[in-house]
């Protein structure tokens, strides 16, 4: 076991080192981009150009409106900068020198950014060729080390992310160590475009977004509703097996509730404006379910004999995301969490954490999301963002790390990523294209029970403070659905498929037999349709394939005579013939077993 843990740790260090190298390349490429833009448009005003997980970007203020047609010209100039093999030279300036420099070359955004640097920190610059940039680094030694890059797209970005500030033009790009890696990545992006959940969702009638309803508010259409219901049924059955009690809470709550919990003002910037009922009552669209569940726990007295108490809700919450950050189902303003909160004694914490982790892992396995890593998200001891007793934080962080290690879950520590009330065990899942998504989360919280003065009566007949565990294996139905659509490219496994079977008679002469099979499928609880159109069988098959129907039961004269169906599976073609009873029985077994 120890050898396995050491191997996991070694691979983690290697991956981090590789990412650090790639980040330096991308950061350097952002400077190469800025150098090229200034050569072509010397009056451009610059803001920032950081590396990202995807590549890099740089923000510009310029009268000329960039278009994708400009990319060829910019890339050509970037190649010249790379060929010149300029060194990245580090230097420092005093605050006064830095401001005088940016005043002299009329770069107002850079001038303001200097004020962001704490007085105790150095003001550092990197220079390549004629381009000098306010920057903390790091960079590769020379522009010649930037060997493979590509400009990707344009976007609008408000200065400092504030809609009241000027709107800048953002150029996104990517860079890799070599052209082979770049080519592979670009090919993966083309595949990702084909799998874009917004495109597939529209084509398959899974969900829609309406500007009339409002940005970031998902409307689940009937087919998408089927998938969501099946996911919810799966989770609900697991919750009932594990002793959770279903609860329901309203969509709004008193502002005083969220002030007491700390969600307001900790998350004030991502919440909708408050709703004033009158001079005395003020409400907030629910940003989190936890305070509501706390009030349910607090509504009754509890003995240690009753604990743990596990409350679960598929609860809608609302977050105000900037319009430029919204993206289909993966970044929304209204979302439904598969949320639950466990109230337990300190002695029960580890057992309950293990069970919530086990549920998260079972969820991922059931959906074929087996490539994941875990992250123990810790507090930053130098930040005042976090609330509560440091001793409780230490205990919570130690428990999460120990459980992850004992369950042989590869994990890294991430200081500064904890919730304000407690550390988290976050599951980062890779889809079939190698993209990483943060899905399930388990959070250990000693602080909200303290803020709400929660109690239970212990075996010594005196009040004790419970511990609270927050967990959400899906995260949110909206985001999880968007990821699943892209992971499966809309080809959902049989148990999730909106249309599990379509019966296709070859000619009108088989319509009565097809109707009989269709009725048997419906009685068996299988989601089925029948195509009685006058189209030829090839067109019927083509229509079912386009609709990503999982199974097709094709019936002709031969099938009537043998009381069978010819089976075709989407994307796999002809699967031979089976008797009707055997075909239906096999489907029911695969559906109940949630076979992928």
**Strand partners of residue 438:** 428
- Taking residues 508-517, what's their average pLDDT? 97
pLDDT of residue 6: 40
The segment(s) of the chain belonging to CATH 3.40.50.800 are 501-592
Place of tokens 């999730």: 496
The two structure tokens encoding residue 176: 């890799």
Give the residue from 166, 134, 170 showing the smallest Cα distance to 153: 170
Q: How confident is the model at residue 10 (pLDDT cuts 50, 70, 90)?
A: very low
252: DSSP letter: E
Give the residue from 328, 359, 393 showing the smallest Cα distance to 243: 359
Instruction: For domain 501-592, give the CATH number.
Output: 3.40.50.800
Q: Which of helix, strand or coil describes residue 587?
A: helix
Structure confidence by residue, pLDDT tens digits, 386-444: 888 888 899 999 999 999 999 999 889 999 989 888 899 999 998 877 888 888 899 99
Pairing relationship of beta strands 424-430 and 245-246 according to DSSP bridges: unpaired
- Taking residues 297-314, what's their average pLDDT? 97
Is residue 524 a contact partner of residue 591, using CB atoms and an 8 Å limit? Answer: no
Place of tokens 């219901």: 229
Place of tokens 């495109």: 199
The two structure tokens encoding residue 433: 């294209």
- Cα–Cα dist 583/278, whole Å: 63
DSSP assignment of 291-344: HHHHHHHHTS--BTTT--EEEEEEEEEE----GGG-BTTTB-SEEEEEEEEEEE
- Cα–Cα dist 136/92, whole Å: 10
Cβ neighbours of residue 547 closer than 8 Å, sequence gap 6 or more: 204, 499, 502
Residue 8 has pLDDT above 50, yes or no: no
DSSP assignment of 198-238: HHHHHHHTSEEE-TTT-TT-EEE-HHHHHHHHHHHHHHHHH
The two structure tokens encoding residue 501: 């079977």
Q: How confident is the model at residue 268 (pLDDT cuts 50, 70, 90)?
A: confident
pLDDT of residue 271: 87
- Taking residues 323-345, what's their average pLDDT? 93
Peptide bond before residue 261 is cis, with ω within 30 degrees of 0: no
- Taking residues 445-464, what's their average pLDDT? 96
Structure confidence by residue, pLDDT tens digits, 60-87: 999 999 999 999 999 999 999 999 999 9
Give the residue from 551, 596, 528, 136 showing the smallest Cα distance to 369: 596
- Taking residues 197-225, what's their average pLDDT? 96
The segment(s) of the chain belonging to CATH 3.30.980.10 are 2-188
- Cα–Cα dist 65/493, whole Å: 45
- Cα–Cα dist 236/226, whole Å: 15
Structure confidence by residue, pLDDT tens digits, 361-386: 999 999 999 898 899 999 988 887 88
- Taking residues 211-232, what's their average pLDDT? 96
The two structure tokens encoding residue 82: 């790379």
Is residue 425 a contact partner of residue 400, using CB atoms and an 8 Å limit? Answer: yes
Catalytic sites, residue numbers: 290, 319, 337, 339, 341, 424, 470
Q: How confident is the model at residue 456 (pLDDT cuts 50, 70, 90)?
A: very high
Which CATH number is 2-188's, of 3.40.50.300, 3.30.980.10, 2.170.190.11, 3.40.50.970? 3.30.980.10
Tell me the C-alpha to C-alpha distance, in Å, between residue 86 and each of 29, 126, 158.
12, 11, 31
Q: Which of helix, strand or coil describes residue 397?
A: helix
Which carries the bigger pLDDT value, residue 570 or residue 280? 570
pLDDT of residue 117: 93
In the chain the first and final C-alpha atoms are separated, in Å, by 30
Percentage of residues in the chain having pLDDT higher than 90: 82
pLDDT of residue 19: 52
pLDDT of residue 3: 41
Residue 11 has pLDDT above 60, yes or no: no
Give the residue from 255, 251, 336 showing the smallest Cα distance to 285: 251
Cβ neighbours of residue 205 closer than 8 Å, sequence gap 6 or more: 221, 222, 223, 224
Residue 59 has pLDDT above 60, yes or no: yes
Which CATH number is 199-247+304-488's, of 3.40.50.800, 3.10.105.10, 3.90.110.10, 3.30.930.10? 3.30.930.10
Which carries the bigger pLDDT value, residue 493 or residue 326? 493
Q: How confident is the model at residue 7 (pLDDT cuts 50, 70, 90)?
A: very low
Residue 409 backbone phi and psi in degrees, to 5: -100, 120
The two structure tokens encoding residue 278: 């009158």
Give the residue from 438, 444, 229, 472 showing the smallest Cα distance to 359: 472
- Cα–Cα dist 440/125, whole Å: 40
Average pLDDT taken over every residue of the chain: 92
Which carries the bigger pLDDT value, residue 551 or residue 3? 551
**Strand partners of residue 437:** 429
Is residue 60 a contact partner of residue 45, using CB atoms and an 8 Å limit? Answer: yes
346: DSSP letter: G
The segment(s) of the chain belonging to CATH 3.30.930.10 are 199-247+304-488
Q: How confident is the model at residue 322 (pLDDT cuts 50, 70, 90)?
A: confident
The two structure tokens encoding residue 300: 């009754």
- Cα–Cα dist 216/279, whole Å: 31
- Cα–Cα dist 584/580, whole Å: 6
Greatest CA separation found in the chain?
93
Place of tokens 């109940």: 592
Structure confidence by residue, pLDDT tens digits, 523-578: 999 999 999 999 999 999 999 999 999 999 999 999 999 999 999 999 999 999 99
- E strand or H helix at 142, and its extent? none
- Cα–Cα dist 83/445, whole Å: 54
Q: How confident is the model at residue 324 (pLDDT cuts 50, 70, 90)?
A: confident
């Amino acid at each position: 076991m120890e050898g396995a843990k050491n191997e996991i740790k070694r691979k983690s260090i290697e991956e981090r080192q590789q990412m650090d190298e790639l980040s330096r390349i991308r950061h350097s490429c952002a400077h190469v981009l800025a150098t090229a833009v200034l050569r072509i448009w010397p009056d451009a005003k610059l803001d920032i150009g950081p590396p990202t997980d995807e590549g890099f970007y740089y923000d510009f203020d310029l009268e000329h409106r960039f278009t994708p047609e400009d990319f060829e010209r910019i890339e050509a100039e970037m190649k010249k900068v790379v060929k010149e093999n300029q060194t990245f030279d580090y230097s420092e300036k005093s605050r006064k020198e830095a401001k005088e420099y940016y005043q002299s070359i009329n770069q107002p955004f850079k001038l303001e950014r200097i004020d962001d640097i704490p007085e105790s920190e150095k003001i550092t610059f990197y220079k390549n060729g004629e381009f000098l940039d306010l920057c903390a680094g790091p960079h590769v030694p020379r522009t010649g080390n930037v060997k493979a890059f590509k400009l990707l797209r344009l976007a609008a970005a408000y200065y400092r992310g504030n809609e009241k500030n000027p709107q800048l033009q953002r150029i996104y790009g990517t860079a890799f160590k070599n052209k082979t890696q770049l080519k592979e990545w670009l090919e993966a992006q083309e595949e990702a475009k084909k799998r874009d959940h917004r495109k597939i969702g529209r084509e398959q009638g899974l969900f829609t977004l309406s500007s009339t309803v409002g940005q970031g508010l998902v409307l689940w259409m009937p087919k998408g509703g089927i998938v969501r219901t099946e996911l919810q049924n799966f989770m609900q059955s697991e919750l009932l097996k594990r002793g959770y009690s279903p609860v329901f809470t309203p969509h709004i709550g008193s502002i005083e509730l969220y002030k007491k919990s700390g969600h307001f003002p900790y998350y004030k910037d991502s919440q909708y404006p408050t709703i004033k009922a009158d001079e005395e009552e003020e409400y907030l669209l629910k940003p989190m379910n936890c305070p509501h569940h706390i009030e349910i726990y607090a509504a009754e007295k509890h003995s240690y004999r009753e604990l743990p108490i596990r409350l679960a809700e598929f609860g809608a919450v609302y977050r105000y995301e900037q319009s430029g950050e919204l993206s289909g189902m993966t970044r929304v303003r209204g979302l439904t969490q598969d949320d639950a909160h466990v109230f337990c004694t300190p002695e029960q914490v580890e057992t309950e954490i293990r069970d919530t982790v086990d549920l998260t892992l079972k969820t991922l396995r059931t959906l074929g999301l087996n490539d994941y890593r875990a992250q123990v998200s810790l507090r930053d001891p130098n930040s005042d963002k976090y609330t509560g007793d440091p001793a409780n934080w230490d205990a919570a962080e130690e428990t999460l790390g120990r459980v992850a290690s004992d369950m042989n879950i590869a994990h890294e520590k991430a200081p500064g990523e904890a919730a304000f009330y407690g550390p988290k065990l976050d599951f980062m899942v890779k889809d079939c294209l190698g993209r990483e998504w943060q899905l399930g989360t388990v959070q250990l919280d000693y602080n909200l029970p303290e803020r709400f003065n929660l109690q239970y009566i212990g075996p010594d007949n005196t009040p004790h403070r419970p511990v609270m565990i927050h967990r959400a294996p899906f995260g949110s139905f909206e985001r999880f659905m968007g990821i699943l659509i892209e992971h499966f490219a809309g080809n959902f496994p049989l148990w999730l498929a909106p249309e599990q079977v379509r019966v296709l008679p070859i000619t009108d002469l088989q319509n009565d037999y097809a109707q009989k099979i269709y009725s048997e499928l419906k009685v068996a609880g299988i989601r089925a349709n029948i195509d009685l159109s006058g189209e030829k069988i090839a067109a019927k098959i083509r229509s079912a394939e386009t609709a990503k129907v999982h199974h097709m039961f094709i019936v002709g004269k031969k099938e009537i005579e043998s009381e069978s169906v010819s089976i075709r599976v989407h994307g796999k073609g002809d699967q031979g013939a089976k008797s009707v009873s055997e075909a239906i029985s096999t489907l029911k077994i695969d559906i109940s077993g949630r076979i992928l």
